[in-house]
Structure formats: C-alpha cells, structure tokens
Amino acid sequence: MQSFSYLRPADADAAIAAAAQPGKKYIAGGTDLMQLMKDDVERPAQIVDLDALPYTKIEAGPDALRLGALATMSDVAAHPEVARKYPVIAQALLASASPQLRNMATMGGNMLQRTRCGYFRDTGFACNKREPGSGCPAIHGQNRLLAILGGSGHCIATHPSDLAVALVALDTVLELRGANGATRQVALGDFHKLPGDTPHIETVLQPGELITALVVPASAAARRSGYLKVRDRASFEFALVSAAVALDLDGGVIRDARIAMGGVGTKPWRLPAVEGALRGHQAGDVAFAAAAAQAPEGAMPAVQNAFKVKLMQKTLVRALRTVAA
C-alpha cells in the first residue's frame, strides 16, 4: 500500500474543499476503499474521512424515504419503515456482504463501490478501467461473472451493488453537494455511466462532489416489492443475476411495475420495456413470462456468461411471482 495522509474535516465544506484536489479520496465505511488501497488499485495521497459529517439520518416521511449518505447498511435494513414501505431495499441490503461489513458500509459508499472484475482488482493485469488504454483481458478471458448488457469493446464489468438495483427501480434521486455550497439532484438512473470508451469514468460526480442523501419516493409499488438474488453460494457472495421488482396491483391487474436487475449490466439495469409489457395485464405466469422474455433485449453475452440470458428471465419470473402473491 502506498503511504497516505489522513484528514477528518469537521464540516462538509471543508471536506469538499480538501477532496476536490487531485489525489484525494473520501472514505466512509472504508470497506471497499481500504481493500483497493491494500491491493494498490487505489493510491490516494490523502484520504478525507467523512466520519464527522452529519449525514446519518434515516427519515421516512409520507412522500419519501430520505437516507443520509452516511447511514449504514445495517441501520437502513433494520429500520421498521424501510422494511414496511420499501421491502425491496431491506431485502437487497440483507442479501449483501456480511453483518460485520454492513455495520460499517454506508449508503453513499455503496453507490460508489468499484467493480469486482478480477482483472481490475489485480494490478498484474491490464485493465482499461484501472489504467485507461491498457486493454481489457476480460473480453476474451474470465468473464463468467461479467455484464451482458451495457458493455463496450473497452469494458464489460458489472456494477456490483445490490442496493443500487433496488434503489434505481424505485426512482431514487441522489442529493449532491459541491464546492461553495452548491447542491444538485441527480436521478440514480443517470448517475452511473456506461463504459463506452472511457470505462474509468464511472459516474457524473465532479471532483470533490459529495453524496449527502438518497431520496426514494413513496409509492404503492414500493410497498409491494422484493429482491431476489441468485449467486454461486447462499451468502457473502455477489449476484450472478438479481431482480428488484415493485408492483402496484388493482384487483390482480398490474397498474404499475418497476423492475431493475443486477449482475447483468455495467450499471444497475432498469428495464422499462419489461415494465411496459406488464402494465395493464393480469398478474400471473402468462404475463410474467411474456414480459421477462424482453429482459435480455440488447444483450451481448461473452463466451462464459451466455447462461445469464436465460437466468435473467427465470429470476425475474420468480421474483414477480413472489411479489404478486
């Protein structure tokens, strides 16, 4: 690990001013950043600790759920209003990492965790995301776990977050704070970028910009929602394929549907065509199978991950059945 200095600012503006300089990096729970630093993948000259900032609140109001960016995965998963009105969020969190990690890891850090592509995390290999222009060995190499949607000839890494899949399905908006107190809101669906020919640029965040909160609109669909994660082992493992499903039913007819999937895309993957195919139909296997058939639209599987095309559809049908029951 490269040596680094440590700063713990007392307020957001001091943190933002510090982190806007090149070579600086925020640290929240540290569960991803510290490992990347130990592996020499991230080499910040200074880490700026967010620990003293006041963004830990979880506020469940009538119109929205507001999650402070420093709220931990454990606290959000255990919040009774999250479990009651946004079960897909609680379920996605409880399917992530381990209890120890969830006690440390935060909402903001979770959105910005880096890919688990093995080549990215091993500096012995080339990787366009880690070192722009060096190449992508995954395209013809070990790609079983990688993306079938949203990839490019430069990178096919999957976005690893479970939480982001649940949040993107529910139209979550991120609150960001930049230099001189400037604030802006960005829909989570627009926050992560497709790799294109710049896979090292992963989000629309500006230098030093801080995520301060994640705002999830309340909805009837969010109340009837769930998360299904399919993985190689039952715990402590990233998704092969996952589905976040939210349905609003009117006497068995699907009034509204929100669907996103994980483990398949280079970013948390929302499926508007599947949502459109479900709306107005009687909830049941016929509608679910017909809609799920559209899920892999545009998929470009690599040699080892073509199985995700079928798995995506089966996972989605099972998640829809569970949520509709």
Please list every residue from 90 through 129 that binds ligand FAD, using CB under 6 A.
96-97, 101, 104-106, 108-110, 112-113
Apex CA 288: angle with CA 282 and CA 292, to 5°? 145
Among residues 249, 268, 266, 274, the alpha carbon closest in space to that of 324 is found at 249
Please list every residue from 205 through 234 that binds ligand FAD, using CB under 6 A.
210-211
Q: With binding defined as CB under 6 A, does residue 41 bind ligand SF4?
A: no
Q: With binding defined as CB under 6 A, does residue 127 bind ligand SF4?
A: yes
Q: CB under 5 to 8 A by kind: which of ligand FAD, ligand SF4, none does 108 bind?
A: ligand FAD
CA distances from 200 to 36, 52, 89, 155, 163 (A): 15, 29, 28, 9, 22
Question: Are 107 and 163 a contacting pair, CB within 8 Å?
Answer: yes
Which of 16, 27, 146, 169: binder of ligand FAD (CB under 6 A)?
27
Among residues 216, 7, 235, 9, the alpha carbon closest in space to that of 107 is found at 216
Judged by CB under 6 A, how many residues of this single chain contact ligand FAD?
30
Q: With binding defined as CB under 6 A, does residue 258 bind ligand SF4?
A: no
123-132: Cβ within 8 A, 24+ apart: 123/39, 123/40, 123/41, 128/154, 128/155, 128/195, 128/199, 128/200, 129/155, 129/157, 129/195, 129/199, 129/200, 129/202, 130/41, 130/200, 132/198, 132/199, 132/200
Which of 41, 77, 97, 117: binder of ligand SF4 (CB under 6 A)?
117
Q: How far is the CB of 114 from ligand FAD (least distance, A)?
A: 7
Q: With binding defined as CB under 6 A, does residue 136 bind ligand SF4?
A: yes
Radius of gyration over every alpha carbon of the chain, rounded to an integer in angstroms: 19
Other CB atoms closer than 10 Å to residue 153's CB: what's the count?
A: 11
Can you read off the two tokens belonging to residue 107?
A: 């909402």
Q: CB under 5 to 8 A by kind: which of ligand FAD, ligand SF4, none does 105 bind?
A: ligand FAD
Q: With binding defined as CB under 6 A, does residue 155 bind ligand SF4?
A: yes
Among residues 146, 95, 91, the alpha carbon closest in space to that of 119 is found at 146
If the CB atoms of residues 151 and 226 are measured against ligand SF4, the closer one turns out to be 151
Residue the block writes with tokens 């109340």 = 223
Q: With binding defined as CB under 6 A, does residue 157 bind ligand SF4?
A: yes
d(CA 36, CA 247): 38
Q: How far is the CB of 161 from ligand FAD (least distance, A)?
A: 4
Q: CB under 5 to 8 A by kind: which of ligand FAD, ligand SF4, none does 137 bind?
A: ligand SF4
Angle, helix 307-324 to helix 285-292, in steps of 10 degrees: 150
Judged by CB under 6 A, how many residues of this single chain contact ligand SF4?
15
Which of 20, 30, 223, 318: binder of ligand FAD (CB under 6 A)?
30
Q: How far is the CB of 135 from ligand SF4 (least distance, A)?
A: 8
Q: CB under 5 to 8 A by kind: which of ligand FAD, ligand SF4, none does 155 bind?
A: ligand SF4
Q: With binding defined as CB under 6 A, does residue 179 bind ligand FAD?
A: no
Among residues 116, 110, 245, 241, the alpha carbon closest in space to that of 188 is found at 110
Q: How far is the CB of 155 from ligand SF4 (least distance, A)?
A: 3
Point out which residues bind ligand FAD (CB under 6 A): 25-33, 35, 50, 69, 96-97, 101, 104-106, 108-110, 112-113, 160-163, 210-211, 238
Residues that bind ligand SF4 (CB under 6 A): 115, 117, 119-120, 127-129, 136-138, 146, 155-157, 199
